[in-house]
Structures are given as C-alpha cells and as structure tokens.
Amino acid sequence: MSVSILVVDDEPDVVELLRQCFRREARQGTYVMHFVDSGEAALERLSGNIEPALIAVLSDINMPGMDGLQLLSAIKQRCPDLPVMMVTAYGDDDRRRQAAVGGAAEFLTKPVDFERLKALLRQLSGSQFEETRRSIE
Amino acid sequence: MLRDITERKRAEDEIRTARDTAEAALRDLKAAQASLIHAEKMASLGQLTAGIAHEIKNPLNFVNNFADLSVELLDELKQTTAPAVAALDEETCTEVDEIVRMLTGNLAKIAEHGRRADGIVKSMLAHSRGSSSDRQNVDINALVEEALNLAYHGARAQDQNFNITLERELDADAAPIELVPQDVTRVFLNLFGNGFYATDKRRRDTGEPSFRPKLKVTTRDLGEAVEIRVRDNGIGIAPEFRDKMFQPFVTTKPTGEGTGLGLSISYEIITQQHGGVIEVDSRVGEFTEFTVRLPRYQRPVMTEAAS
C-alpha cells in the first residue's frame, strides 16, 4: 500500500535530495513524493485530488511569498487533521514556538536527520493503515 | 606681604584642584567614549556575523546531506557490482576496490568537515539570539558551581590527563539575581574552558614539574550588582591581543581547535543582553583574570539583537 507526501521548498535541489534519500521506499512503492516550490502552489495542489492518500506535508519555513508558517495556518484551517512538519535551517526558539502554536506535527532542523524523518513518516503511515483498515472493516 | 603669599598659595591650590578635576573628567569621558565605540563596533560585528551565518547555513546543509547520501549510494553501488567486479582480472579488481575506497574516504571527509563548519555556523547564529529567552531569578553561586562542574567534566572527557585545582570563594550572602541562566552559563563555560586551556598550555609549554594548574572563581555581592571573577595561572594574554579578543573569529588556538567566537558571544551576552561589564586583567606567563559584573537592576532597552 502506497501513501503520498507533499514537500514544499523553494530550493530546487531539495527535490533531488529527497528523491535520493527515499529511493528505496519509492522503488518499493511505499511513498510517492510530490514537490511544490511555494506555499501558494502547495495550497493549489491540496485543493485538487492527491493520489495515493496524502499522509503528511513537509514544509520549509523561509520561502518568498507565503512562508511556511502562513502555509501551516492555511492548511490547519482547511484540513485540521493533516499532519504538517516544519523543516527549517533556523532552529530558533521563536520559530519553534510559532510552529507549535500553529499546530505543526513536528519541527525538524536542517541538515535533516533522514533516519528521524523516516521514523516519523513510518509512524504516520502506520496510523494511516490503521484508519484505512478500520474503515474497511 | 605674608598674607599675599598665603592668598596666592590658596589660589594656586584651588586652580590645581580644579585642573585635576577637569583632567579626571576628561579621562572618564575618553574612557566612556572608547567603550561606546567598542560596544557599537561589537554590536555591528555580531550582526554581520549572524547575517553571514544565515547565508552559509543553507548551502552548507546541502553539502552535508548530499555527502551523507553519497556514502550510502556508493555502498549500494559496491554491493550491486560486487559479482561483476569479482569476475574481472585481479589487477583491475584491485584498482576498482581502491578507487571505491578512496571515494568513500573523500565523502566521509566532506561530511566530517561539513559538520565542523556547521558547528561554527551554529555558534555564529548564537549572535542573533532574540531577546525572547526567559529571565529568571537565580542563585549565582549555584549557577557558577554547575558551570564549573560541566566545564571540568567536559575537559576531562576530552583529555583524561587533564587536571587542575579548582578554588571557589563564593559569597554565601549573595542574593538571587535576575538573568538568562542558559546564556550566562554559556559565558562561564567559555571562561572556564579558556582558563583550563591556558593552564594546560602552560604546563605543556614549560614542562615545569612544580607547576600546578589552578583556576579560582570568586563571587561577590556588590549590592547593585554581582561580581564574578575567574582567575587562572595559565599562559596569560599578550597586551596587544586584549583589544581585539572580544571580536568574532579572533583566536590564539590552532586551526580547528577554537572558533574565535566564545569570547565575542560572551561579550554580547554580558554587555548587550544583561547590561553588564566584562573586563580582563592578565600578565603573560603568570595569570589571566576575567571580571564579570552583572547589574541587579536592568538598564532598559539593552537587547536589540537582530532577529
């Protein structure tokens, strides 16, 4: 069973980085990664249909236009249950607090600890499977 | 006639007193001006430092993440091609192995030095800490004691042969003071760490068997302020170095051992964040003594670090 992750980052190399990082999972069909380069593009993508089921949004904070924290609050208004993880190069208390107040599921600092990210996603997709199984039963 | 002379003597005395007062005032004014200029210079250097750090952090993250990933990829490549490589003639096989080994080594080096740079950038970013950190009423002696333990065990963990006599002269009557504990602890960790380094360097440089490394911490409640002195009997600080030692990236340690940011961050925490004073007295080959004075009553608008 496959699930989707939406990645929001204005740095184009993030696409290559995460594709390489999740190459095994992608080959096995565990995760399908979707990439957008702005908060605005993320909202547009979210308003459409994302297949397979979206389990998490991974968003950068510092972006031109709508920043990650604004995106977080916009997503929380539309789909309060969708986990949003903030990823930022600046792990200062202020951003951390704002992310927590805004309802972020997780706050990760760059350089991203891939093992931790994978563990978090495994948890999320695990609970997703649970929900799907329950809804089938 | 006699009265005339007495009169003139008194007038001269008055003039002398007036001149001394004026000269003292001028000296004070010059000192105040120098310290203002210094404070201003340090503040802009701190902002510049934090700005550079912000700009470097993102590309550096890519270097580190891609280096780590490449190590993994190379490992996979090695495993995937192992049967094919084994089928090659011995000489080619050895050469392939050697190249893969060197590539893996290089990537590990990139990752290692990238992390080193990341550590420096993190310290630089500490310059831009906002004023959001919590002030708390703390027992200065407990804070000093905790930092001393941390620094000592940190030094011992790095070098098992490290040894030093620690002396404490803590003012038992020191009343609690309001400050940002983790930042002030950071200052003391820096000062103690420098003291340990200086004494250890003296021990290694001179090789005098009679030399006993020593670091003494004194706290004193001055009423309006609390004073902390950190004195070591290490190599000392050359006079020409004392002017610039609080500037970022100034260090006497060998490359890779010190970032040159410890004292500059300490300076910012004490002067900008807490409205206090940090001074140094030293004699080369004998001692160094840092004096930190933290005012009990906060001067308003002292923190305005870039956020």
B96 to chain A, minimum CA–CA distance in Å?
A: 24
How high is the pLDDT of residue B253? 80
How high is the pLDDT of residue B241? 85
Domains of chain A, by residue range, sit at: 3-136
Residues B143 and B281 in one domain: yes
- As a CATH number, domain A3-136 is 3.40.50.2300
Mean pLDDT of B258-274: 86
Q: Which of A21, A94, A111 sits opposite B132 (nearest CB)?
A: A94
* Within-domain flag for B302: no
With 50 as the cut, is the pLDDT of residue B53 above it?
yes
Average pLDDT taken over every residue of chain B: 85
Residues B69 and B111 in one domain: yes
Decide: B206 and B223 in contact? Cβ < 8 Å.
no
Residues B137 and B72 in one domain: no
Domain boundary among B128, B147, B179: B128
- The B-side interface with A (CB below 8 A) comprises 54, 57-58, 60-62, 64-66, 68-69, 73, 118, 125, 128-130, 132-133, 307
Residue of A nearest to B114 (CA): A111
Residues B163 and B219 in one domain: yes
Residues B142 and B102 in one domain: no
Q: Are strands B136-138 and A84-88 parallel, antiparallel or unpaired?
A: unpaired
Q: Say which residue, B210 or A43, is predicted with more confidence.
A: A43
**ipTM of the shown complex:** 0.76
How high is the pLDDT of residue B126? 67
Residues B281 and B205 in one domain: yes
The reply to whether residue A110 touches residue B57, judged by beta carbons under 8 angstroms, is: yes
Q: How confident is the model at residue B295 (pLDDT cuts 50, 70, 90)?
A: very high
Count of domains in chain B? 2
DSSP characters over B213-259? -EEEEEEEE-SSEEEEEEEE-SS---HHHHTTTTSTT---SPTTT--
- The A-side interface with B (CB below 8 A) comprises 11, 13, 17, 20-21, 89-90, 92-94, 110-112, 114
Mean pLDDT of A66-79: 94
* Within-domain flag for B184: yes
| CATH number of the structural domain spanning residue B208 | 3.30.565.10
Least confident of A6-15, A112-121, B131-140, B269-278: B131-140
Q: Which of A13, A90, A92 sits opposite B62 (nearest CB)?
A: A13
How high is the pLDDT of residue A6? 96
The reply to whether residue A114 touches residue B57, judged by beta carbons under 8 angstroms, is: no
Decide: B281 and B275 in contact? Cβ < 8 Å.
no
Domain boundary among B83, B106, B128: B128
Decide: A99 and A71 in contact? Cβ < 8 Å.
no
Domain boundary among B105, B128, B151: B128
B116 CB neighbours in chain A (<8 A) are none
Sign of CA dihedral B194, B225, B137, B172: positive
Question: pTM above the 0.80 mark?
Answer: no
Sign of CA dihedral B199, B151, B302, A92: positive
* Within-domain flag for B301: no
A110 CB neighbours in chain B (<8 A) are 57-58, 61, 65
What range defines the domain where residue B216 resides?
Answer: 133-295
Residue A119: exposure state from Cβ atoms within 10 A (0-12, 13-18, ≥19)? exposed
Q: What is the pLDDT of residues A90-102, one digit of tens each?
A: 777 788 999 999 9
How high is the pLDDT of residue A129? 53
Residues B32 and B175 in one domain: no
